[in-house]
Amino acid sequence: MSDRKIQMVDAPAGLEGQGFFATSLDSLVGLARANSLWPLPFATSCCGIEFMATMAAHYDIARFGSERLSFSARQADVLMVMGTIAKKMAPVVKQVYLQMAEPRWVLAVGACASSGGIFDTYSVLQGIDRIIPVDVYVPGCPPRPEQILDGFMQIQELAKSESTRRRQTPEYKELLASYGIE
Amino acid sequence: MSEVALVANPNVGIAKPQESNKKYVNELTTLNLGPTHPATHGIFQNILTMDGETIVDSEQTVGYIHRAFEKIAERRPLYQITTLTDRMNYCSSPINNMGWHMTVEKLLGIEVPKRAQYIRVIMMELARIADHIVCNSILAVDTGALTGFLYVMQWREHIYEIYEEVCGARLTTNMGRFGGMERDLSKEAIRKINVLLDEFPKSLLEFEGLVKRNRIFMDRTTDVGAISAERALNYGFTGPNLRAAGVDYDVRAMNPYSSYEDFEFEVPVGTKGDTYDRFLVRGEEMWQSLNIIRQALNNLPEGSYHADAPHYYLPKKQDVYHNMEALIYHFKIVMGEIDAPVGEVYHSVEGANGELGFYLVSDGGRAPYRLKFRRPCFIYYQAFPEMIVGSTLSDAIVTMSSMNVIAGELDV
Amino acid sequence: MTNEQIAQDLLSQFGEEKIFGIVENYGLLNVTTTTETIVPLLHYLYQHPVFKFQFLTDLGGIHFPDAKGQELGVIYHLHSLENNVRLIVKLHVPIDAPDVPTLTGLYATANWMEREAFDFYGINFVGHPNLIRILNVEDMDYFPMRKEYPLEDATREDKIDALFGR
Ligand code: SF4
- Ligand 1: which residue has its CA nearest to atom 6? A112
* Interchain pair B1, C54: CB under 8 A: no
CA atoms of C10 and C87, how far apart (whole Å): 12
Q: Classify strands A20-22 and A39-43 as parallel, antiparallel or unpaired.
A: unpaired
pLDDT at A7: 73
pLDDT at B9: 43
Name every chain B residue with its beta carbon within 8 A of the beta carbon of C57: 236, 348, 355, 357, 374
Residue B407 has pLDDT above 50, yes or no: yes
pLDDT at C154: 79
Cis peptide, bond prior to residue B113, ω within 30 of zero: no
C35-47 vs C3-14: helix crossing angle, rounded to 10: 120
pLDDT at B255: 92
Task: Round the average pLDDT of chain C to a whole number and report it.
Answer: 90
Secondary structure element (H or E) that encloses residue C62, with its range: strand C55-63
Of A42, A47, A148, which is best to mutate to test ligand 1, by the most ligand atoms within 8 angstroms of its C-beta? A47
Supply the CATH classification number for the domain B69-410. 1.10.645.10
pLDDT digit string (tens) for A9-67?
A: 777 788 888 988 888 888 888 888 898 999 999 988 889 889 888 888 888 898 888 88
pLDDT digit string (tens) for B25-72?
A: 678 889 888 788 777 777 888 899 998 888 999 998 898 989 999 999
Of A141, A144, A147, A148, which is best to mutate to test ligand 1, by the most ligand atoms within 8 angstroms of its C-beta? A141
Residue B10 has pLDDT above 60, yes or no: no
Instruction: Give the number of domains in chain C.
Output: 1
Give the CA count within 13 Å in the CB-facing half-sphere of A21: 7
Buried/exposed B161-185: b ≥16 CB within 10 Å, e otherwise: bbbbbbbebbbbbbbbbbbbbbbbb
CA atoms of C50 and C27, how far apart (whole Å): 20
* Interchain pair A121, C153: CB under 8 A: yes
pLDDT at B22: 58
* Interchain pair B65, A83: CB under 8 A: yes
Annotated binding residue A112: yes
The interface predicted TM-score of the complex, written ipTM, equals 0.93
* Interchain pair A88, C150: CB under 8 A: no
Out of A56, A71, A92, closest to residue B38 by CB: A71
Contact present, C155 and C104 (Cβ < 8 Å): no
Contact present, B351 and B408 (Cβ < 8 Å): no
Contact present, B369 and B81 (Cβ < 8 Å): no
pLDDT at B74: 92
pLDDT at A11: 78
Nearest of A47, A69, A149 to residue B141 by alpha carbon: A69
Question: Residue A133 CB: number of other CB atoms within 10 A?
Answer: 16
CA atoms of C18 and C16, how far apart (whole Å): 5
Contact present, B175 and B98 (Cβ < 8 Å): yes
Residue B8 has pLDDT above 50, yes or no: no
* Interchain pair B65, A84: CB under 8 A: yes
Radius of gyration of chain B (CA): 23
CA atoms of B53 and A55, how far apart (whole Å): 32
CA atoms of C100 and B143, how far apart (whole Å): 45
What's the pLDDT band for C155 if we cut at 50, 70, 90? Answer: confident
B187-211 vs B114-142: helix crossing angle, rounded to 10: 30
Residues of the domain holding C55:
12-145
Total beta-carbon pairs less than 8 A apart between chain B and chain C = 114
| CATH 1.10.645.10 domain span(s) along chain B | 69-410
Of A84, A123, A124, A144, which is best to mutate to test ligand 1, by the most ligand atoms within 8 angstroms of its C-beta? A84
pLDDT at C78: 94
Among B64, B97, B138, B406, the residue to mutate for chain A (most A Cβ within 10 A): B64
Residue C64 has pLDDT above 60, yes or no: yes
- For A74: left if phi > 0, alpha if psi spans -120 to 50, otherwise beta; the answer is alpha
Chain C residues with at least one Cβ partner in A under 8 Å: 135-137, 144, 149-156, 159
Among B230, B235, B249, the residue to mutate for chain C (most C Cβ within 10 A): B235
CA atoms of B194 and B397, how far apart (whole Å): 36
Supply the CATH classification number for the domain A38-144+155-178. 3.40.50.12280
- What distance in angstroms lies between residue B80's CA and the mean position of ligand 1's atoms? 15
Residue B1 has pLDDT above 50, yes or no: no
pLDDT digit string (tens) for C81-127?
A: 999 999 999 999 999 999 999 999 999 999 999 999 999 999 999 99
Q: What is the CATH number of the domain that holds C46?
A: 3.30.460.80
How close B106 comes to chain A (CA, Å)?
27
CA atoms of C78 and C10, how far apart (whole Å): 14
Question: Domain segments of chain A: what residues?
Answer: 38-144+155-178
Give the pLDDT mean for B168-190. 91
pLDDT at B5: 44
Contact present, C78 and C55 (Cβ < 8 Å): yes
Residues shown for chain B: 412
- Does C152 reside within a domain? no
Interface of A with B in 71-130 (CB under 8 A): 71, 83-86, 88-89, 92, 96, 118-119, 121-124
Closest chain C CA to residue A127: C156
Contact present, A105 and A159 (Cβ < 8 Å): yes
Q: Classify strands C28-33 and C85-93 as parallel, antiparallel or unpaired.
A: parallel
Secondary structure element (H or E) that encloses residue A16, with its range: strand A15-17
What's the pLDDT band for B153 if we cut at 50, 70, 90? Answer: confident
pLDDT digit string (tens) for B266-309?
A: 999 999 899 999 999 999 999 999 999 999 999 999 999 999 88
- Does C22 reside within a domain? yes
pLDDT digit string (tens) for A83-100?
A: 999 999 999 999 999 999
Secondary structure element (H or E) that encloses residue C65, with its range: none
| Three-point CA angle B70, B75, B80, nearest 5° | 85
Map residue B49 onto helix, strand or coil. Answer: strand
* Interchain pair B67, A49: CB under 8 A: no
Burial of C161 (0-12, 13-18, 19+ CB in 10 A): exposed
Pocket of ligand 1 (CB under 6 A): A 45-47, 83-84, 110-112, 117, 141-142; B 87, 172
pLDDT at A24: 87
- What distance in angstroms lies between residue A142's CA and the mean position of ligand 1's atoms? 5
Residue B265 has pLDDT above 90, yes or no: yes
Residue C164 has pLDDT above 70, yes or no: no
- Does C3 reside within a domain? no
User: Which atom of ligand 1 lies closest to the CA of A83?
Assistant: 5
**Residue of higher predicted confidence among C156 and A107:** A107
Chain A residues with at least one Cβ partner in C under 8 Å: 87-88, 116, 120-124, 126
pTM of structure = 0.91
Annotated binding residue A46: yes
pLDDT digit string (tens) for B92-145?
A: 999 999 999 999 999 999 999 999 999 999 999 999 999 999 999 999 998 888
**Residue of higher predicted confidence among C152 and B10:** C152
